[in-house]
A and B are shown apart, each in its own frame.
Chain A
Amino acid sequence: MAKHLSRQELIKAVRRRPFVLDGHLKSCAECRDAVILLKAFDVSGCLPLPDAPSPWVERAASLAKKNVGVLEGVKTIMAKLTFDSWAVPRPIGVRGQSSLSDRRIRFESESMVFDLRAERKTTGWAFVAQVTTEGPAVAPTILEIGKRKLHADPGGLFQWTSSRPLTSVTIRSGNTIIVIPELAWKRPRPI
């Protein structure tokens, strides 16, 4: 029997239009099987699909961990960052360090807006946040910051202090859980 087809010849046979099994492929079951199998995918010679960035994968993988023990019917939504005062360019003349000790951040999901203001104090950080929803709220909103659970004050604001900046927040309202993406607190360097 003639020598088996080389890699290039096999790939060429897979990609040939119209697809025919002739020549060596007619008599060699081994090469024929290889070509037919590869033909099913039509991807021979392609580079492998690249992996997603690991933080993306870790976040997706952690979905199940975050909900262990949670009752069925709970809806989990990932909020999206829509405004960050630290990421906004400032006009010349107001680029001092003082403006960087304050930060305003806004996250939005389907029907909710989460506004956060953070102020750096000498002993730590002071935070004030507000959660607004489309239409009347159907259940009390609770902010979960680490192990702390915060309820809104009569004015609808959540206020708290902490020695460290805030990294993870979850908002619960009835059967809805809104996960705020992890916050980075590395301040941009003033120019």
Chain B
Amino acid sequence: MSKTDAELWQEALAGSAAAWSELVGRYQPLVYAVSTRAGLSVADAADCFQQTWVALYENRKHVQDPSRLSAWLVTTAKREALRLRRQAERNRGELVEGEAVDMNPLPDEELAMVERQMQLEIAIKELAPRCRQLIELFFFAPEKLTYEQIASTLGMSSNSLGAFRRRCLKRLNEILVRNGFFGARNDLR
């Protein structure tokens, strides 16, 4: 079983470079998604990505609740992206005095959805391989698959697929509860 954010965070705070590296690996798609959705150049997106992690590292003693790590990263990356956008606009000289730039390239609803998706992906990665495959085939495969096709891909009969799916969803739910997802967002349940 992989470690929770809280466990990794405690180890990172104690100076474990491996725990820090695992946290970066876990949440890098989230920071990357925010950095690349703000309409920044590749260089600025790279800068935004890097500065977000530097900020987390520097403020590690002040992050009280590691279950809110994803929210912290999203907020910091968004703030950094907006700062870089303003800077880029100024450098290009496109800003006429008094003119406002579109400072909402990252709507909160979109960021909240990216954050939820990240949490779900982290939880799915913790499932046993066959469960993970089932969940991905059922809910995330880009192509449309029938019940029979999914059963055939997993090498099981259509009759036993329902019970297996139930067990996998139950396990996924347990992981999400353990990771504090529902605790932080009771409104979604």
What is A's interface to B at a CB cutoff of 8 Å? 3-4, 6-8, 10-11, 30, 33-34, 36-53, 56-57, 59-61, 63-65, 67-68, 72, 75-78, 80-81
The secondary structure that dominates the A interface is: mixed
In angstroms, Cα B169 to Cα A71, docked, is: 46
Of the listed residues A43, A67, A72, the one surrounded by the most CB atoms of chain B closer than 10 A to its CB is A43
The docked-state distance in angstroms from the alpha carbon of A45 to that of B61 is 38
Q: Quick one: closest B residue to A63, CB to CB?
A: B57
Chain B at the A interface: mostly helix, strand, loop or mixed?
A: helix
Q: Are B28 and A60 in contact (CB under 8 A)?
A: yes
User: Which residues on the B side are within 8 Å of A52 (C-beta)?
Assistant: 28-29, 31-32, 35, 49
How distant is the Cα of A72 from the Cα of B35 in the complex, in angstroms? Answer: 29
> With an 8 A cutoff between CB atoms, is B162 at the interface?
yes
**Pair A63/B54 contact, Cβ less than 8 Å:** yes
B114 / chain A contacts, CB cutoff of 8 Å: 49
Name B residues whose Cβ lies closer than 8 Å to a Cβ of A: 12, 15-17, 20-21, 24-25, 28-33, 35, 43, 46-47, 49-51, 53-54, 57-58, 61, 113-114, 116-121, 137-142, 144-147, 150, 161-162, 165-166, 169-170, 172-173, 181-182, 185, 188-189
Chain B residues near A10 (CB-CB < 8 A): 138-139
The residue in chain B whose Cβ has the minimal distance to the Cβ of A4 is B162
A7, B139: Cβ atoms closer than 8 Å: yes
| 28 A-B pairs in the complex with CB atoms less than 8 angstroms apart | A4-B161, A6-B147, A7-B138, A7-B144, A44-B139, A45-B140, A46-B117, A47-B140, A49-B32, A49-B117, A50-B32, A51-B32, A52-B28, A52-B32, A52-B35, A52-B49, A56-B28, A56-B46, A57-B24, A57-B28, A61-B21, A63-B20, A63-B53, A64-B20, A65-B17, A76-B57, A78-B50, A78-B54
**Please, which residue of chain B has its CB at the minimum distance from the CB of A33?**
B169
CB distance from A131 to the nearest CB of B (A): 19
Our pick among A4, A30, A38, A48 for the contact of B121 (Cβ within 8 Å) is A48
Determine how close the nearest CB of chain A comes to the CB of B77; give it in whole angstroms: 11
Chain A residues with Cβ below 8 Å from B181 are: 40
| A171 → chain B closest CB, angstroms | 15
